Amino acid sequence: MADNLDHIEELKKRLFMAKDEKSIPELREHTLHNPRYQVAKKWTKETINTTTKIMSHGSLFKKFFIGSLLLLLGSFGFFAYMFLQGNNTVSNDNIDIAILGNAFAKGGEQLPIQVSIANKNKSSISSVDLVLSYPKGSGTDATSEYIRLRKTVGTIESGQTKTEPYNLVLYGEQGTIKNITASVEYRVSGSNALFVKDSSFIVTLSEAPISLVVDAPEMIGSNQEYNLSIKTTLNAESANKNMVLVLAYPPGFSYIASSQNPMVGNTVFDLGDLRQGVPKTITIKGSLVGLDKEERSFQIYVGEQNKDKQSSIGVIYNSLLQNVMITRPFLDAHLIIGGEDKPVYSVSGSTPINAKIIWSNNAITRIANAQVTLQFEGQALDKESVIVPNGRYDARNNLIVWDQDTTPEFASLEPGATGDLDFTITAKNISGTSSNSDIQMNVGIRGEQSGDGLGQQTISSVDKKTLRFGVDFQIAQSASFLQGPFKNSGTNPPKKGSETTYTINWTLSPVQNVVTGGVAKAVLPIGVRWVGKTSPDLERVSFNSATREITWDIGTIKRSTSNLVRQVSFQVGVTPSAFDTETTTLLMGELNATGTDTYTGSPVKDTKRELNTRIVDGKSVN
């Protein structure tokens, strides 16, 4: 017990040891030794330096901690500044654009609208411009002409609203949707950047400024006459100048005529001064060729004429698509000329032409009282030459008629019935313009369908053909001993063993059409010498000694309405052999002349037989 008390006292003594004690008693050493420190009783300069060295081991961490603290304080300061200053920034979201107006408008009439700009930012916006844009015509956004209106608004203060009025005129078809765009361009204080805010407004056209109404068949037989009647009416109070109607014809359509002369080609028509409510009608006449059940479309446009291209519209006010179905006619007929079915048939000279009309009943019912007609147009037809085995020819009206009186089977044609009608014509020799040498032939057919209540129907111009007559291309050759531009020598008829010279003449008859590439050729017989004299000098005549061929390069032969001929002469010498008689010495081989008729596009040719000494100067030599 006494030992324990002593031990406690010892601990107290150590705990409350005075500062001036010289040393600290050592602790009892155990297996793990405690480090021994010498602690000074008083703080001296040396003690402070030692303490500083000990603290320097954590200086890097200390610096990092202080830097992080400063960065955090800076971030708080920046966000606080931005929060406090945020009320002075400008945002597009705080700018409202309102477009007020009627959502429906008539084309061509004024549409009043108002555009309001409200600045809900805490700061003002400056240099404000309002740009209004909208399509003028009825085209798409890519093709339509755009109108752009710019107004300077100036400065809009915070909380201020400015309103600008407009009167617009829109054009287009009924039901067309117009997109009106308002763009606000502005700047903010302290910045040179240009900011833009957009807004849109939709307007639907309740009525087109000009209405289009088309009156035309929805179904038509191939190659039949087709009439397209287009009525335009101005709905607006007034129309701009240079209003035109433009048509785009489908493939297979052939323009014939119109009630008003077109101003450009056969597709652009001037509408003149249109008055509100007063219709104007233009009728187009033509023919349409196509396959059975094939659909074709006519595109019709009306509007302001394009200033740079007169054949098109600059601003479209209205447009219309007219569809037509091509059907096989219940009665059909085709004209075949010279065994060929083509639109233009060319023939040279006054050659008789054999032709026929092949007809057929395409209906599923019987057809009664059928009739086929063939109308001739043109001055070239020789009326006396028309031959119709089983039809009637009316020379006064240039018309051939086949009906049940001339063709009994036409009284009743069963479904699928077919046949042909023959005739022959000849052209007369026409001098003058090339167009006079054409013969137009139009085939018409009609009949009565039974059982469907349609009665008699006429199909006019089922088939059309043009018979085009080319030039009557003729060349002649003759021999002369006493006449011509050259003085000939020897005896006529020539004697064996001695040479006699002759003048050969090639003569072209006048032509009604221009002929190009004209060439005349003949071979000089053995025993006949090319002397080398030609006349006139302007004509190009040459001789090939290897082939013994004489060539007259005629070139272009101009159309002539007079009896003037074109001729060339050249001299040859002949020495009869023992095999020749005095009257049959061969002077010139067969003559061939060729060229191309520019009007018909067909080749022309004429051939003349060989020459001998039996006929000289147009007389027979005995």
CATH number of 356-468: 2.60.40
Return the CATH class of domain 211-327.
mainly beta
Q: pLDDT, tens digit, for every residue of 388-405?
A: 999 999 999 999 999 999
pLDDT of residue 38: 56
pLDDT level of residue 173 (50, 70, 90 thresholds):
confident
* CA 158/CA 43 separation, integer angstroms: 70
Mean pLDDT of 293-318: 83
CA distance 615 to 483: 13
Beta bridge partners of 443: 374, 463
Two domains, one topology: 356-468 and 475-620: yes
- Average pLDDT of 159-164? 91
Domain spans of the chain, in order of start: 94-207, 211-327, 356-468, 475-620
Q: Among 213-217, 238-242, 580-584, which is the least confidently predicted range?
A: 580-584
Question: How many angstroms separate the CA atoms of 481 and 585, rounded?
Answer: 14
Going from the C-alpha of 159 to that of each of 8, 96, 185, the distances in angstroms are 87, 11, 18
- Entry field: residues in the chain: 622
Q: Is the pLDDT of residue 281 over 60?
A: yes
Range with lowest mean pLDDT among 45-54, 255-264, 416-425, 602-611? 45-54
Strands (E), 44-191: 95-101, 104-106, 110-119, 125-135, 146-156, 161-169, 177-187
* Percentage of the chain lying above the pLDDT 70 cut: 79
Query: Cα–Cα distance between 292 and 221 in angstroms, integer?
Result: 8
Q: Which long-range contacts (CB under 8 A, 24 or more apart) does 356-359 make?
A: 356/420, 356/421, 356/422, 356/423, 357/333, 357/402, 357/420, 357/421, 357/443, 357/463, 358/333, 358/334, 358/418, 358/419, 358/420, 359/331, 359/332, 359/333, 359/418, 359/419, 359/420, 359/421, 359/445
Q: Is the pLDDT of residue 13 over 70?
A: no
Give me the pLDDT at residue 30, please: 47
Residue 342 pLDDT greater than 90, yes or no: no
pLDDT for the residue numbered 446: 87
Q: At 27, list the tokens.
A: 């602790």
**Confidence at residue 521, expressed as pLDDT on a 0 to 100 scale:** 96
Mean pLDDT of the chain: 81
Give mean pLDDT, residues 463-486: 87
- Mean per-residue pLDDT for 166-186? 85
Q: What is the mean pLDDT of residues 146-169?
A: 90
Domain 94-207 in CATH 2.60.40.10? The answer is yes
225-235 mean pLDDT: 89
pLDDT at 458: 59
36-64: average pLDDT: 53
Q: Which fold has domain 475-620?
A: Immunoglobulin-like (2.60.40)
Question: Above 60 in pLDDT, residue 177?
Answer: yes
pLDDT at 82: 47
Write the CB contacts of 424 (distance below 8 Å, at least 6 apart in sequence). Answer: 352, 353, 354, 355, 385, 386, 387
pLDDT band per the 50, 70, 90 thresholds, residue 608: very high
pLDDT of 48: 46
Among the ranges given (149-163, 305-319, 406-420), the one the predictor scored with the smallest mean pLDDT: 305-319
